[in-house]
Homo-oligomer: A and B are copies of this chain.
């Protein structure tokens, strides 16, 4: 080993979902939105010019911050934007989880939490979900260095009622509680409504799912102005200009089209509810997802084999080789047509 290698930070990186090269593939593996971004994004794109790109972007991304604040009904100083919610969450870990005590997050949850904790050498403990894949709120009442959980949880899709979310926040006034709401627009009630009561709450959302903008990398946190200032201080110490000009302009257009957002998220919810009925009829079992995906298992179909058979047929879904969920598949809700193709394949597959 070369000597410099001993000083390299060793990490086991997160492995993102596969992006198939085949454009005809049905991609139900990364919880992308099946509908294009708002037509206002296309319009804003047409008005972009190359010349201004020679200049640095606005480091405060003020236009985008203002648009998100308006949509969320909060003040601009309560909004922090980042390069996808992963950037926002990573910076929040670095900013707020420095007590030396273990932070808490569920055993089955977004696979990036333990990666960030390892990267920043933050100790952590993972209270197990119960058998219905629910977060048990009392598990988060013990001494800790911070709390984070997604609501709805990923990859289970299970939504925690807002009263239980509040109970966890109220029991943890000495630390920061991060509620990761990547999927909240598909059925849940946002904890943003609790911000006036709790100064230890940070709510994180994203443009990647309900806003159809995964390709532009835009995420944000909503919190009290003091928390947001702390996050900005760390962000300005890492990379002052993280949001490029196109992300700021196109994200602003997406944030301002509330009507389109409402229409597409309702379509996805309707498709999800119909898909639930058809999947249940095929013998799949799953928790009652309030996200844009289903997390399913089947008595007579082994998940790993089904994953491969689906891939063979050009249908990509997500599989996590982890304890307790090794016989589950996570399936993104696509268009009605895409779900019909999936269901047709499953019907044939299960009749073999």
Is there an interface contact between B230 and A244, defined as CB atoms closer than 8 Å?
A: no
Number of copies: 2
Q: Are B244 and A247 in contact (CB under 8 A)?
A: yes
Report if A241-B84 is in contact (Cβ < 8 Å); known contacts: A2-B199, A7-B96, A57-B217.
yes
Q: Please indicate the chain B residues that have their CB under 8 angstroms from the CB of A94 in the complex.
A: 9, 119
Cβ A98 vs Cβ B36 within 8 A: no
Q: Is the CB of A119 within 8 A of B246?
A: no
What is the CB-to-nearest-CB distance from A115 to chain B, in angstroms, rounded to a whole number?
5
Q: Which residue of B lies closest to A6 (CB)?
A: B99
Complex contacts, A236 vs chain B, CB 8 Å: 13-16
Chain B, Cβ-Cβ closest to A38:
B50
Closest residue of B by beta carbon distance from A13: B236
CB-defined contacts of A4 to chain B, threshold 8 Å: 96, 173-176, 200
User: Which residues in B have their C-beta under 8 angstroms from that of A230?
Assistant: 8-9
Cβ contact within 8 Å between B8 and A98: yes
Contact of A98 (CB < 8 Å), options: B9, B175, B200: B9
**Does A323 make an interface contact (CB < 8 A)?**
no
- Tell me, yes or no, whether A116 is within 8 Å of chain B by CB: yes
- Distance A32 CA – B53 CA, assembled complex (angstroms): 10
Q: Report yes or no: A216 in contact with B244, Cβ–Cβ below 8 A.
A: yes
Q: A interface, how many residues as a size bin?
A: 35 or more
Q: Does A63 contact B (CB under 8 A)?
A: no
Contact among B8, B34, B119, B234 with A238 in the assembled complex (CB-CB below 8 Å): B119
**Interface membership of A83, Cβ < 8 A:** yes
Instruction: Name the residue on B nearest A230 (C-beta).
Output: B8
Q: Which of A78-125 contact B (CB under 8 A)?
A: 83-84, 86-87, 90, 94-99, 115-116, 118-119
Smallest Cβ distance from A230 to chain B, in angstroms? 5
How long is the Cα–Cα vector from A247 to B49 in the complex, in angstroms? 14
Q: Does A19 reach chain B (CB closer than 8 Å)?
A: yes
Taking CB atoms, residues of chain B closer than 8 Å to A36 are 50-51, 53-54
- A53 touching B214 in the complex, CB below 8 Å, given contacts A9-B98, A119-B238, A239-B83: yes
A–B Cβ pairs within 8 angstroms, 16 of them: A3-B173, A4-B173, A4-B200, A7-B98, A7-B146, A7-B176, A16-B240, A16-B241, A33-B54, A53-B214, A83-B83, A87-B238, A94-B119, A118-B237, A215-B245, A216-B246
